[in-house]
Structure 1
Amino acid sequence: MRIVEEERLDLSEFIRPGDTVVWGQACAEPLTLTEALVRQRAKMSRIRGLIGANFSSTFSAEHADHIDFVGTGAVGTVRQLAKAGVVDIIPFHITACDRAIENGWLQCDVVLVQVSPPDDEGRYSIGLTSDWIRTAVKHARVVVAEVNAQVPQTTCTEPLTEADIDIRVDTDRPLLEVKSVVPGETDHAIARHALEFIPDRAVVQVGIGSVPDALVPMLKDHKGLGIHSGMIGDSLVDLIESGAVTNEFKEIDKGVTITGALLGTRKLYDFCDRNPRIRLAPVSHTHDIAMVSSLSNFISLNSAVEVDLSGQINAEAAGKSYLGAVGGQLDYGRAALRSPGGRSIIALPSATADGKSRIVAALSGPVTTPRSDADLVITEYGVAELRAKSFGERIKALIAIAHPSHREQLEREAFVAGAVHAR
């Protein structure tokens, strides 16, 4: 391992033209390294950059002059790159990215990773995001690690050691943060409906956003909850400290909250620092269907852009605008359907901010979750239970939870399409 001062870092020493560069995503972005990549990009042109969820302002459309961006979705600030047409989306399930790197289908030449300072045993915690970064480190030609003094020493499945790191750059700078969204009246109404399907001793998977932030405080009176989730935010800190989360009834990982990413603020990061009750795990553990479905009463809560009247779910795009990602929705949905007592919840407002219905006769974008995997769809107007329901039953249930101003039009569209018959 070679230690390089930040001021002397020249990434062109390690990155060759044509290389694919992978960096820690979401709040784990190694800002010193990615900022250097942007600054020095002309020296190594052209390179390929694999970008996942992103919450920084590091990358912009102008950087496509030397970097070919390829992404796993359009989450966070990646949406602006997608809107500008400079990021090529791979429609990956989140677990597929890990396998693609492992099998060499997805090239991975140089990894830029942010880690904590080493512990007493010389282990560098990956800190804020696990996902597929550990697999990328194993397969990269060069690993450049930003050792940031402010990264928490979180418990992780496989920390890095000196043997994994080629270049070490020491920094001490604030971490990226994702602040909680203040839930509105609609969010609370949706959360109240979802609450009915979460029993004591359930194992819960929730993302971040206004509906999860409305729901999580409602769970404080539950008993024996477990957490197994691709990501957690600040709201989970209060829920765990309330005593509602014990993880004691999980068939695997008893006593431990499992997550793949910390998307929050210093409150969350400090809570997870040296906390053995929280473990960051790779997607091969957080999203594996066989593993997750072994958990009893696994409740998956995810969102969507729109749902059609047959139960098809689009969580990726609105028309030509790519907004989300394939992500882990289908992995978790299928795991919930196989879990004893499990339920898969898709929660979304009945209408967009400009009044368009999100319950639609036909999707405007791709099918992220097929209708054969649909279970519960929830809006502020109620719950549509779709599991084992016919097309006719689904249509009635979904129109009933659509915004009232759109129900008549949805009935007409369903009739014209031949989905229902005049009686």
Structure 2
Amino acid sequence: MSTTLAGLHAGDTLVVGQCAGEPTFLTAEVARSRDRITGATVYRGMSLSHTLTSRHADHLRFLSTGALGTNSELFKDGVLDLLPVPVSQIPVLWRTGRMPVDAVLVQASPAQPDGTCSLGVNADYLPAAIETGAIVIAQINDQMPVTKGDTRIRPERFAASVVYSQELVEFPDALPSARDREVATHVAGLVHDGATIQVGVGGLGTAICESLTNHRDLGIHTGLLTDSLVGLVRRGVVTNSRKPIDQGLVVTPVVMGSRETYVWADHNAELSVRRVEYTNGIRTLAQIAGFTAINFALEVDLYGQVNSEYAGDRYIGAIGGLPDFGRGAVEAEGGRSIIAMRAASSDGTRSRVVPRLGGPVVTAPRSDVDFVVTEHGVADLRAASVADRARRLIAIAAPQFRSELEYLARSM
């Protein structure tokens, strides 16, 4: 084992930064040295690297809140344990000792004039893990953007560090389909000028951001800052001027996009990268009048319950921040919780508006959904009875499934 990882022991629990903040030099070293730390648990959020793969499960246990990015490969191979909680709850589990933390592996900038290093694109769950008193091992990367918020850490806190320069992993926006753009047009009509928005990731998220280009004075308080959202800042659509808190600031726990976005983030006084307890906390979100949460679903049933995790019997998603942002939008004055999706599967053979959720889980309860949007329109579920919900949701289902849904709704 390298001297950098000498502080790790068999059976330890390692918390690793996610997305572009993953210290891939260190995780590759963990993979090479795994026989020396046999039985260790590695917790990562979304991974974009292949440094830790299924073949490393001979000595390591993998844990995450979702099967996103390359974690999907671990889950498919049966070596990823899932923790079924919203991301906002992870710090609580560490703080209360219900989940141990022995070491935190981070990627950070070199020390700045104020003497601190920056975690750059990824605060998220890392501050809470560090505050447990666990040892911190750092990959110092001079290509890590320097950001403000909850990203600063003094180098004396590092039990060990290694200097290794590398470009950050890029995650460009997915290209939207024609149906995504149709859905996005309806979503845009629900977003008021001056609203503070949170937008999910994927082709539909890209399309929604494109559909908002004629809006004015939007704010951003989101779970993952993407190229498309940064594009709204660059175009002047987002000014953050009407936010009741964090005025003038784009707020996010994670930045993930192209190199251009990482350059934009570096030393940007209008960006605040915060810990997930703040960004996803209900008390925070409830203070944001007009907070508009825009999230996506794999299916919605006629009660308004949301599944964003299972496609049939395959687990492909995560709980993520959807329950946090949906509840926060409902609590905020003038807030809106929007669920957007295509009305049917890509081949048109399966409705995504269903009588009852087909999977074993409910990602978001019906009480935290204000609107459901497909390419066929908007179902306003506010103050809607069970019967009204069913009628409104059937109206935005794909036409070829409406008769069957109407028949099945009679037994509800």
TM-score by shorter chain over 0.5 = yes
2:363 aligned with 1:368: yes
Alpha-carbon displacement from aligned partner over 1:336-370 (angstroms, at most 9, x marks no partner): 11212111110111112243211111212200111
Structure 1 counterpart SS, 2:152 = coil
Q: Which runs of 5+ in 1 are unaligned?
A: 1-7
- What TM-score, normalized by structure 1, do the two folds share? 0.94
- Are the aligned partners of 2:147 and 2:272 in contact in 1 as well (CA < 8 Å)? yes
Q: Which residue of 1 aligns with 2:297?
A: 304
Among 60, 64, 74, which residue is 2:53 paired with? Answer: 60
- Are the aligned partners of 2:5 and 2:137 in contact in 1 as well (CA < 8 Å)? no
Q: Which residue of 2 aligns with 1:70?
A: 63
Change over 3 Å in CA distance of 1:264–1:158 after alignment to 2: closer
Among 283, 292, 296, which residue is 2:285 paired with? Answer: 292
Q: Residue type matched to 1:368 in 2?
A: T
Q: Which residue of 1 aligns with 2:244?
A: 251
Q: Which residue of 1 aligns with 2:7?
A: 14
After TM superposition, the structure 1 = structure 2 runs for residues 185-224 of structure 1, keeping only pairs within 5 Å, are 185-224=178-217
Change over 3 Å in CA distance of 1:150–1:44 after alignment to 2: same
Change over 3 Å in CA distance of 1:123–1:371 after alignment to 2: same
Q: Which residue of 2 aligns with 1:5?
A: none
2:382 aligned with 1:387: yes
Q: Which runs of 5+ in 2 are unaligned?
A: none
- Are the aligned partners of 1:20 and 1:108 in contact in 2 as well (CA < 8 Å)? yes
Distance 1:377 1:335 in 2: 17
Distance 1:173 1:59 in 2: 18
- Are the aligned partners of 1:11 and 1:36 in contact in 2 as well (CA < 8 Å)? no
Alpha-carbon displacement from aligned partner over 1:186-213 (angstroms, at most 9, x marks no partner): 1111110000111111001112211121
State the shift of 1:326 in Å: 1.3
State the shift of 1:48 in Å: 0.8
After TM superposition, the structure 1 = structure 2 runs for residues 126-165 of structure 1, keeping only pairs within 5 Å, are 126-165=119-158
- Are the aligned partners of 1:127 and 1:151 in contact in 2 as well (CA < 8 Å)? yes
Alpha-carbon displacement from aligned partner over 1:366-395 (angstroms, at most 9, x marks no partner): 001111222111111111111211111111
Distance 2:358 2:45 in 1: 24
2:324 aligned with 1:326: no
Q: Which residue of 1 aligns with 2:352?
A: 358
Q: Residue type matched to 1:124 in 2?
A: C
- What TM-score, normalized by structure 2, do the two folds share? 0.97
- Are the aligned partners of 1:125 and 1:156 in contact in 2 as well (CA < 8 Å)? no
Distance 1:9 1:50 in 2: 21
Alpha-carbon displacement from aligned partner over 1:260-307 (angstroms, at most 9, x marks no partner): 111101111000100010110001110111211111111000011111
Mean CA deviation greater in 135-144 or 341-350: 135-144
Q: Once superposed, what is the RMSD of the aligned Cα atoms? A: 1.4
Among 258, 265, 270, which residue is 1:272 paired with? Answer: 265
Structure 2 counterpart SS, 1:216 = helix
The number of equivalent residue pairs is: 410
- Are the aligned partners of 1:12 and 1:44 in contact in 2 as well (CA < 8 Å)? no
Distance 1:230 1:109 in 2: 26
Q: Which residue of 2 aligns with 1:398?
A: 393
Q: Residue type matched to 2:287 in 1?
A: S
State the shift of 1:12 in Å: 5.3
State the shift of 1:402 in Å: 1.1
Distance 1:319 1:97 in 2: 27
2:334 aligned with 1:341: yes
Distance 2:76 2:352 in 1: 21
Distance 1:117 1:354 in 2: 50
Distance 1:393 1:373 in 2: 16
Alpha-carbon displacement from aligned partner over 1:72-131 (angstroms, at most 9, x marks no partner): 111111112111111111111111001111111111101110011111111111111111
Distance 2:108 2:4 in 1: 18
Change over 3 Å in CA distance of 1:354–1:107 after alignment to 2: farther
State the shift of 1:158 in Å: 4.4
State the shift of 1:141 in Å: 3.0
Distance 2:272 2:180 in 1: 29
**Moved beyond 6 Å, runs of 4+:** none
Q: Which residue of 1 aligns with 2:107?
A: 114
